[in-house]
């Protein structure tokens, strides 16, 4: 029996190839979105850990104006490894004609803990300077460039011999001034007065987990610093500070993931329900030949499961290919490598979400029909005209052109489908409105100082493109299916005298009217969603920045325009099908 | 008599699975105004193909179709649609009523398409439905009607604009004898109003109501003969119960 049910399931998939293909495409979009979210999120954590490991990072890092403090920390119990204290001094550099303060750290010949991790060029500064990567990027300089640093004896010119990152150095300009590493001799030349040096002591502990307690104990053990110029930070603190830059990216990716999945799952629900609805008669026939409701459900769940797995198989590679491209700008803001390792288990996570959503959609769609009588199931797919009720009366009063009235009557007769189509459009509009608010929140006039990393805009733009592609694909899919379902009726309309142009107008105008209403609804919903997400991420909606009203006011026009375009092509194709072929369509 | 409908060397070839199937092979036929013609023949002989070509539902591979002195096989889809509104009514075997419109709205639609005012269209539809004996079901969904009732609505829709020609593809093929009798009565009334009827049927008793029977075989006309006039349609259709 199982083999027979499977055979029936696959026969159903083959028989409705368009719906099958569309469901796989949209399911694949969901899987790809999940994979991208997981991979990009991984860039927020993994690179810091990798950087820390590569740098042989300090479990505790103390900076003080006193060399004695540094030496005292290194002698405290619990220290497993220590390095020589590293001196640093503030210099005034000139880079590309601009004066820019810079902290110069004088490295010893063989640093062993908290070693700068090379990104480009040389590891050791020699007679030049190795600049921290985000600082070099912000200054638009690279290996081979020259910077001038003021010194008592005159200007010292240093060649940038490399760029590096450090797990204890947050991104410039959040951590300002920027950092450069020079040799001890160079530091001596730039700042000969050692009273103006600071000292850093990097230690590793026998038990890294005790770093916060060690830091507290060290602060208590040392004599009070008269100038307050002493900091003792654990590796956990370093990580939190470093990841502050990636936090907005994780929040943005998280928000987009939720928004994209909302659109995609709404559309999956519609497509699955449409597929089942198109097979109501088949359900009745299956019951008529002796299948139990459970077996009928099994056939449809088998179909949905197969579609879900196919969607993940298609979506995972797409997500895996796109993720590094989206992660690269976000990884720039981290103290880590922009490369990320693709995790095969993310495919399992995507399957664990996409497949159950499809199964649930199919179950809910098929449940009603399997519970009805066999005859009821066979009649369940027949749309019935709306001749009474408030909406019908309202439509009757509004003098719409005949073609538009026909389209609207059809939408009203297929209320369930119309509800879900409107939901898909409203969800899409809602997401776009919320995105516009987000964009307004992160946009800032050129040249102004902002805490938002520049790369965040690139990421949001990339995700905007992904969102729009998925939203438009979803709308086209829904409209294509909707037109396909009506082929037979369209043939009849042609037979009684509607021209192809009138048929296209009927479909386009009705869907455009529906989507205009849904677009209007999406404005308050989108602003509400934005405020809800803001509240979730910031704990408050105070200080919310909103998009200019004319951006939002475009939505009730832009959404119907996209829907009209999405409906127009399949409608034209359908209207061109000869009557004798169209009326044979089941 | 003026020919209202004419097929000249009409041929239609379909390509199916790489093979060319000749559904209609050089059919010449003239139908005079007010004539009632029955087309008969075994399944697959090309009856429905001929009717589809005459209605402009499909394009012939070769040959010509003329309606009221106008060649129509080369017209655009839009022009054909406009032509059908006023001059051709079509009745399908499986009714093909629009499920999202009520019975009355199905009948009103061709009238509105032809440019009739909404109120006038409603009045005409009501009269037609009353004549057909289904006025009380005017606000019902087509799916909730019996086959015979649906076919009566389909007939009302086809005749709403009093077209020159009514083409019917096995209009009684799915009906019991009572419903068949009712449908044939309606067709007889249309004929009485001077409308031209062209009907595809397998049923010899239905065909017997026609003025003329055209027999097709393998896409060709093999017989074309007139029947003696006189008997009324109900007499001919004294079917004696279900068949």
- Residues in chain B with CB shorter than 8 Å from the CB of A583 are 92, 96
Instruction: Locate the chain A residue with the closest alpha carbon to B54.
Output: A580
State which residue of chain A sits closest to B167, comparing Cα positions.
Answer: A495
Are A147 and A64 spatial neighbours (Cβ–Cβ below 8 Å)?
no
Q: Which residues of A touch B139 (CB under 8 A)?
A: 387
Determine, for residues B143 and A387 on separate chains, whether the beta-carbon distance falls below 8 Å: no
The pLDDT value recorded for residue A230 is: 83
CB contact under 8 Å between B157 and A409, yes or no, is no
CB atoms within 10 A of CB A292: 11
A254 is written with which tokens? Answer: 């998280």
A-B CB pairs within 8 A amount to 89
CB neighbours of residue B17 within 10 Å? 5
Alpha helices in A226-338 (DSSP H): 235-243, 247-278, 280-288, 293-332
Query: How is residue A170 written in tokens?
Result: 């947050």
Contacts of B109 in chain A (CB under 8 A): 406, 496
* Closest residue to B57, CB basis, from A406, A412, A578: A578
Provide the shortest C-alpha distance from residue A277 to chain B (in Å).
15
Give the model's pLDDT for residue A87.
Answer: 92
Interface contact A409-B100, CB threshold 8 A = yes
- Which is it for strands B3-16 and B62-67: parallel, antiparallel or unpaired? antiparallel
| CA distance linking residue A418 with residue A557, whole number of Å | 19
Tokens matching residue B26: 């050089």
- For residue B115, the distance in angstroms to the closest alpha carbon of chain A comes to 10
Neighbour-count burial of A196, counting CB atoms closer than 10 A to its CB (0-12 exposed, 13-18 middle, 19+ buried)? exposed
- Domains of chain B (ranges plus CATH)? 5-237 (3.40.50.300)
Residue of B78, B109, B141 lying closest to A384 (CB–CB): B141
Are residues B78 and A489, on separate chains, in Cβ contact within 8 Å? Answer: no
Q: Under a CB-based contact definition with an 8 Å cutoff, are residues A385 and B100 in contact?
A: yes
Q: Do B85 and A384 touch (CB under 8 A)?
A: no
Q: Are A535 and A541 in contact (CB under 8 A)?
A: yes
Contact status, residue A344 vs residue A314, Cβ threshold 8 Å: no
pLDDT at residue A584 in the model: 75
Contact status of A494 with chain B (Cβ, < 8 Å): yes
A379–B contact, CB cutoff 8 A: yes
CA quadruple A6, A8, A9, A10: dihedral sign? positive
State the smallest CA–CA distance between residue A271 and chain B in angstroms. Answer: 21
Cβ contact A489–B77 (<8 Å): no
Nearest beta carbon to residue B141 from set A385, A412, A499: A385
Residues of chain B found within 8 Å of residue A491, distances taken between Cβ atoms: 96
CA distance B52 to chain A (A): 7
Using a CB–CB cutoff of 8 Å, tell me whether A583 touches chain B: yes
Nearest to B139 among A387, A494, A581 (CB): A387
Mean pLDDT by 10 residues, chain B (243 residues): 88 84 92 93 91 92 94 90 90 86 90 90 91 86 88 90 91 82 83 89 88 93 77 48 37
Chain B touched by A210 (CB under 8 Å): no
Residue B152, preceding peptide bond in cis (omega within 30° of 0): no
Tokens found for residue B197? 């009827």
Q: What residues of B are in contact with residue A492 (Cβ under 8 Å)?
A: 96-98
| Among chain A residues, CA nearest to B79 | A499
CA distance B41 to B221: 9
Please tell me the predicted confidence (pLDDT) of residue A396: 67
Interface touch A492/B114, C-beta < 8 Å: no
Q: Do A501 and B78 touch (CB under 8 A)?
A: yes
Contact B73/B53 with Cβ under 8 angstroms? yes
Asked if A578 reaches chain B (Cβ–Cβ under 8 Å), the answer is yes
Contact B4, B198 (CB under 8 A): no
The pair of three-digit structure tokens given for residue A324, joined into one six-digit string: 């590094």
Q: What is the ipTM of this complex?
A: 0.83
User: Which residues are paired to A421 by β-bridges?
Assistant: none
Instruction: Give the residue on B whose Cα is nearest the Cα of A396.
Output: B118
Contact B58 A580 (CB under 8 A): yes
Contact A499 B99 (CB under 8 A): no
Please indicate if any CB of chain B lies within 8 Å of the CB of A225.
no
Q: B-chain residues within 8 Å CB-CB of A576?
A: 77
Angle, CA of A48, A51 and A57, to the nearest 5°: 105
Of B48, B82, B102, the CB nearest to A385: B102
Q: How far is A473 from chain B (nearest CA, A)?
A: 28
> Cβ–Cβ of B113/A498 closer than 8 Å?
yes
A156: phi then psi, degrees, rounded to nearest 5: -100, 125
Contacts of A389 in chain B (CB under 8 A): none
Distance, in Å, from the CA atom of A5 to the CA atom of A562, rounded to the nearest integer, reads 40
Buried b (16+ CB within 10 A) or exposed e, B168-204: bbbbbbbbebebbbbbbbbbbebbeeebbbbbbbebe
Residue A333 in contact with residue A459, Cβ under 8 Å?
no
**pLDDT tens string A122-169:** 888 888 999 998 888 888 888 999 899 988 878 889 999 999 988 888
B90:A501 CB<8 A = no
Closest-CA distance of chain A to residue B213, Å: 24
The verdict on A502 touching B (C-beta cutoff 8 Å) is yes
Query: Are residues A499 and B157, on separate chains, in Cβ contact within 8 Å?
Result: no
Cβ distance of B90 and A498 shorter than 8 Å: no
Query: CA-CA distances (angstroms) from residue A396 to A119, A409, A418, B105?
Result: 71, 10, 18, 12
Asked if the C-beta of A413 comes within 8 angstroms of chain B's C-beta atoms, the answer is: yes
Residues of B in contact with A414 (CB under 8 A): 100
Which chain B residues have a beta carbon less than 8 Å from that of A410? 100
- Does A579 contact B98 at a Cβ distance shorter than 8 Å? no
- Quick check: A384 and B143 CB within 8 A? yes
Stated as kind and residue range, the H or E segment containing B236 is: helix B233-236
User: Given an 8 Å threshold on Cβ–Cβ distance, is A379 in contact with B143?
Assistant: yes
Q: Does the beta-carbon distance from A384 to B157 stay under 8 Å?
A: no
* Distance (Å) from the alpha carbon of A250 to chain B's nearest alpha carbon: 49
A306-334 residue pLDDT tens: 999 999 999 999 888 877 776 665 555 44
Residues of A with Cβ-Cβ distance to B156 under 8 angstroms: none
For testing the chain A interface, which of B49, B59, B77 should be mutated: the one with the most A CBs within 10 Å?
B77
**How close is the nearest chain A Cα to the Cα of B220, in Å?**
20
The residues of chain A scoring below 70 in pLDDT are: 1-15, 41-47, 226-228, 244-250, 274-275, 277-279, 281, 288, 326-342, 368-393, 395-396, 443-459, 461-462, 537-538, 585-586
Which tens digits make up the pLDDT trace of B110-148? 999 888 998 999 999 999 898 888 889 888 888 889 888
């Amino acid at each position: 029996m199982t083999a027979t049910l499977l055979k029936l399931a696959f026969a159903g998939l083959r028989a409705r190839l368009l719906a099958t293909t569309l469901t796989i495409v949209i399911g694949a979009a969901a899987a790809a979105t999940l994979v991208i979210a997981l991979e990009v999120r991984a860039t927020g954590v993994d690179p810091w850990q990798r950087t820390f490991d590569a740098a042989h990072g300090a479990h505790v890092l103390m900076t003080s104006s006193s060399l004695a403090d540094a030496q005292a920390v290194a002698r405290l119990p619990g220290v497993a490894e220590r390095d020589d204290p590293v001196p640093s001094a503030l210099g005034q550099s000139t880079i590309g004609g601009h004066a820019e303060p810079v902290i110069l750290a004088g490295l010893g010949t063989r640093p062993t803990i908290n070693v700068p991790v090379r990104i480009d060029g040389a590891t050791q500064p020699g007679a030049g300077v190795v600049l921290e990567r985000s600082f070099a990027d912000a200054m638009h300089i690279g290996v081979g460039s020259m910077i001038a640093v003021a010194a008592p004896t005159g200007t010292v010119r240093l060649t940038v011999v490399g760029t590096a990152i450090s797990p204890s150095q947050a991104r410039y300009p959040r951590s300002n001034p920027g950092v450069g590493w020079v040799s001890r001799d160079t530091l001596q030349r730039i700042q000969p007065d050692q009273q103006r040096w600071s000292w850093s002591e990097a230690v590793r502990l026998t038990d890294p987990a005790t770093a916060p307690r060690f830091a507290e104990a060290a602060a208590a053990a040392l004599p009070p610093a008269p100038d307050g110029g002493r900091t003792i930070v654990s590796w956990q603190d370093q990580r939190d500070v470093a990841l502050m830059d990636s936090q907005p990216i994780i929040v943005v990716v998280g928000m987009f993931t939720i928004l994209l999945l909302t659109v995609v799952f709404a559309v999956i629900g519609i497509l699955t329900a449409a597929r089942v609805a198109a097979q109501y008669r088949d359900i009745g026939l299956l019951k008529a030949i002796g299948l139990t409701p459970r077996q009928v459900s099994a056939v449809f769940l088998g179909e949905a499961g197969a579609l879900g797995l196919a969607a993940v198989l298609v979506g995972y590679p797409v997500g895996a290919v796109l993720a590094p491209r989206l992660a690269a700008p976000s990884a720039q803001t981290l103290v880590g490598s922009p490369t990320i390792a693709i995790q095969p288990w993310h495919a399992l996570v995507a399957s664990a979400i996409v497949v159950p959503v499809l199964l649930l959609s199919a179950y809910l769609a098929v449940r009603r029909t399997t519970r009805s009588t066999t005859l009821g199931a066979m009649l369940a797919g027949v749309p019935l005209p709306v001749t009474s009720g408030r909406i019908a009366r309202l439509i009757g009063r509004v003098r719409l052109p005949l073609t538009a009235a026909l389209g609207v009557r059809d939408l009203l007769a297929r209320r369930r489908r119309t509800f879900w189509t409107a939901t898909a459009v409203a969800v899409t509009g809602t997401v776009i409105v919320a995105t516009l608010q987000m964009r307004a929140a992160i946009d800032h006039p050129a040249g102004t100082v902002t805490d938002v990393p520049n790369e965040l805009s690139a990421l949001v733009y990339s995700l905007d493109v992904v969102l729009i592609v998925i939203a438009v694909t979803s709308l086209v899919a829904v409209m294509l299916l909707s037109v396909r379902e009506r082929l037979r009726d369209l043939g009849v309309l042609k037979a009684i005298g509607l021209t192809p142009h009138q048929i296209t107008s009927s479909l386009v105008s009705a869907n455009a009217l529906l989507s205009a209403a849904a677009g209007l609804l999406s404005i308050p919903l989108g602003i509400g969603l934005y405020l809800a997400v803001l509240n979730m991420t910031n704990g408050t909606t105070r200080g919310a920045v909103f998009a200019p009203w004319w951006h939002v006011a475009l939505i009730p026009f832009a959404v119907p325009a996209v829907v009209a375009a999405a409906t127009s092509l399949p409608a034209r194709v359908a209207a061109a099908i000869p009557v004798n072929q169209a009326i044979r369509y089941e | 008599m003026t020919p209202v409908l004419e097929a000249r060397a009409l041929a239609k070839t379909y390509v199916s699975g790489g093979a060319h199937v000749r559904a209609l092979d050089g059919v010449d036929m003239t139908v005079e105004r007010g004539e009632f013609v029955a087309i008969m023949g075994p399944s697959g002989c090309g009856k429905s193909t001929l009717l589809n070509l005459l209605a402009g539902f499909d394009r012939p591979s070769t040959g010509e179709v003329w309606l009221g002195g106008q060649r129509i096989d080369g017209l655009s889809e839009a022009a054909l649609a406009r032509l059908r509104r006023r001059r051709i009514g079509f009745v399908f075997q499986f009714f093909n009523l629009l499920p999202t419109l009520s019975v009355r709205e199905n009948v009103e639609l061709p009238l509105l398409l032809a440019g009739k005012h909404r109120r006038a269209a409603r009045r005409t539809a009501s009269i037609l439905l009353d004549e057909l004996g289904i006025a009380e079901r005017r606000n019902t969904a087509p799916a909730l009607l019996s086959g015979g009732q649906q076919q009566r609505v389909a007939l009302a829709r086809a005749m709403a604009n009093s077209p020159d020609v009514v083409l019917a593809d096995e209009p009684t093929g799915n009906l019991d004898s009572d419903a068949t009798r009712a449908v044939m009565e309606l067709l007889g009334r249309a004929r009485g109003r001077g409308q031209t009827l062209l009907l595809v049927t397998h049923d010899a008793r239905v065909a017997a109501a026609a003025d003329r029977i055209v027999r097709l075989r393998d896409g060709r006309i093999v017989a074309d003969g007139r029947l003696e006039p006189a008997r009324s349609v109900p007499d001919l259709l004294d079917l004696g119960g279900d068949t």
